[in-house]
Structure 1
Amino acid sequence: MDPSTTTTPHFALHLIVDDIERSIAWYEQALGATVTRILRLPDGSIATADLRVHGLQLALAKPVPGTTLAAPSSTGVSVAAYRLGVDDADAAMQQAVAGGAVVSADVHDAFWGVRTGEVLDPSGHRWAFDQHLREVPDEEIENRLAELQQRKPS
């Protein structure tokens, strides 16, 4: 692909989930997602579901036998945290938890200038809700990171 001929980048998350129908319901309730397409297998089960979350394209699919594609809940490892900018982090967290998410980090004011909290969705994907509070100079963030580094046990 020649980047000079592409005017709008295309980016979508493709998440492996335990139960596509349950995940669709959670993403709709917790994140305000809208379903844009569902592809079904001959037996009527869902092969993939495409959703839109705050302008982001999101595809959901079940684990694929014989591959390393797996939901975090089956491996116990979440390799990424998906961060959504929101107007009210507390309300976003309450909505996510009401939909069945598990809190992994309580809402708090972070030193990098956001009010944030994290949940694990029903398949174990980590979602953070970031409410902008203030601009923080890089030097201030780096100083706080250095303080945290010094507190770590060696």
Structure 2
Amino acid sequence: MTEYAARIEIPDHYRNAVIPHIMVDGAAAAIEFYAQAFGAVELFRLEGDAGRIVHAEVAVQGSTLMLGDVDVPFSIPDRAGASVALHVYVPDVDGLTTTAVNRGAELLTAPTDMPYGARQSMLRDPFGHVWVFLTPIVAA
């Protein structure tokens, strides 16, 4: 371990995690959408020229998501498909799905009990990102 690495401490919300960092066309609007549709809480915002968001962080159900306005070398998702889905466990997948769709998310899969012990829905946000929301099913 380098001397520098030995002196820093990884923040708890980054520990033991792969942190998604998504790029959007309209990061400020995306943050507002995530707050209204998914209950996200903005943690940090760094703005650049003309109000563009260079880097921001939001918490979605306690998980950190990094985002910013699209810039080289990144691109925004192709509306025909996505190579990544963002999975988040939530207390009420049905309620969150209804709220998100009412706020403008596209319903890809309605809440469904899955054989692996979760009730799951799949949504595409207005910025092209696919989200999978899950609530554990309590065995009877």
Query: TM-score per shorter chain, which class?
Result: 0.7 to 0.9
Equivalent residue for 1:14, pick from 3, 21, 26? 21
TM-score by length of 2: 0.80
Shift of 1:134: 4.2
Letter in 2 for 1:113: G
- DSSP-derived class of the 1:117 partner: strand
For structure 1, list consecutive stretches of 5 or more residues without a partner in the other structure: 136-154
Following TM superposition, by how much is the alpha carbon of 1:130 offset from its aligned partner in structure 2, in angstroms? 0.8
On the 8 A contact 2:61/2:90 being kept in 1, the answer is no
Q: Which runs of 4+ in 1 moved over 4 A?
A: none
Alignment of 1:130-145 (within 5 A): 130-134=134-138
User: 1:70 aligns to what?
Assistant: 75
Greater Cα shift, 107-116 or 9-18? 9-18
TM-score normalised over the length of structure 1 = 0.73
Q: Which has the larger radius of gyration?
A: 1
Say which structure is richer in helix.
Answer: 1
Equivalent residue pairs, number: 130
Q: What is the percentage of aligned positions where both structures have the same residue?
A: 28
Whole-angstrom distance in 1 between the partners of 2:28 and 2:46: 12
Is the alpha carbon distance of 1:134 and 1:118 closer, same or farther for their aligned partners in structure 2, counting shifts above 3 Å? Answer: same
> Measured at CA, do residues 50 and 116 of structure 1 come closer, stay the same or move farther in structure 2, by a change above 3 Å?
same
Structure 2 residues not aligned, in runs of 5+? none
- Corresponding residue of 2:126: 122
Q: Please provide the CA RMSD for this pair.
A: 2.3
1:49 aligned to which of 46, 56, 59: 56
